[in-house]
Amino acid sequence: MSKQELAVAALRNGTVIDHIPPQALFQCVKILGIELLDKQLTIGNNLHSSKHGAKGIIKVADTFFPEAVLDRISIIAPDAVVNTIRDYEVVEKRRVELPDTVVGIVKCDNPKCITNHEPMRTKFAVIDRNAGLLRCHYCNHTVSSLKATLL
């Protein structure tokens, strides 16, 4: 191995989340809740990506994430790819999927929206998947998912 390469052990079992936009990486870490995890963990950012120029990546040993958590990742990192590793083999590789309706995840950034004043869940319709545009079910305000504040 050349000295310029980073020594990262291959995962035996666990999850690799790849193609995270660099600006979303640390928010993804927070959503995954892995800050206090005692498993082997590798986080890389601003790595070369042939698709996007730069990317972030998260490798977590012996940990698999529920759909609800990956749905949250899809809001801020819609192109992220989740690899499931078992016994050194990639047994599943798939893109996170932005659902048609996003419930209870994103905060509406309209300060006069009812959802910011009542103890209730927010709800957005995905109106443009490519541009990551969400429309508030209540006040009709449009929110960009990449800039969204997550609840």
Partner 1 sequence: MNSSSLVSISDLSKEEIMRLLAQARHFELNPNQKILDGKVVATLFFEPSTRTRLSFETAVNRLGGRVIGFSDASSTSTSKGETLKDTIKMVSNYVDLIVMRHFLEGASRYATEVTDVPVINAGDGANQHPSQTMLDLYSIYKTQGRLDNLTITLVGDLKYGRTVHSLIMAMRYFNPTFRFVACDELKMPEEYKEVCRQNGIKYTEHKEFSKEVIDTSDIIYMTRVQRERFADLMEYEKVKDLYTLHNAMLDGARDNLRILHPLPRVNEINPDVDDNPKAYYFQQAQNGLYARQALICRSLGIDIPQEPLSISNQK
Does 139 sit near partner 1 (CB under 8 A)? yes
Q: What is the DSSP string of 26-73?
A: HHHHHHHT-TT--S-EEEEEEEEETTTEEEEEEEEET----HHHHHHH
**Smallest distance, Å, CB 100 to partner 1?**
18
Q: Give the residue carrying structure tokens 């990486």.
A: 25
Among 140, 147, 149, 151, binds partner 1 (CB under 8 A): 140
Instruction: Work out whether 66 is an interface residue with partner 1 (CB under 8 A).
Output: no
Burial class (CB in 10 A: 0-12, 13-18, 19+), 36: exposed
Taking the complex as a whole, how short is the minimal distance between the CB of residue 143 and partner 1, in angstroms?
Answer: 13
- Specify the residue, 89 or 128, whose C-beta has the smaller distance to partner 1: 128
Minimal distance, residue 121 CB to partner 1, in Å: 10
Min CB(67)–partner 1 separation in Å? 25
Rounded CA gap, 111 and 136, in Å? 12
**Which residues from 89-128 bind partner 1, rule CB under 8 A?**
110, 112-115, 117-120
Q: Cα 25–96–48 angle (5° rounding)? A: 45
Q: How far is the CB of 107 from partner 1 (least distance, A)?
A: 13
The count of chain residues that interact with partner 1, using the rule CB under 8 A, is 16
CB closer to partner 1, 66 vs 119: 119
In which order are the strands placed within the sheet that holds 53-61? 41-49, 53-61, 14-20, 81-86, 89-95
Interface contacts to partner 1, rule CB under 8 A: 110, 112-115, 117-120, 136-142
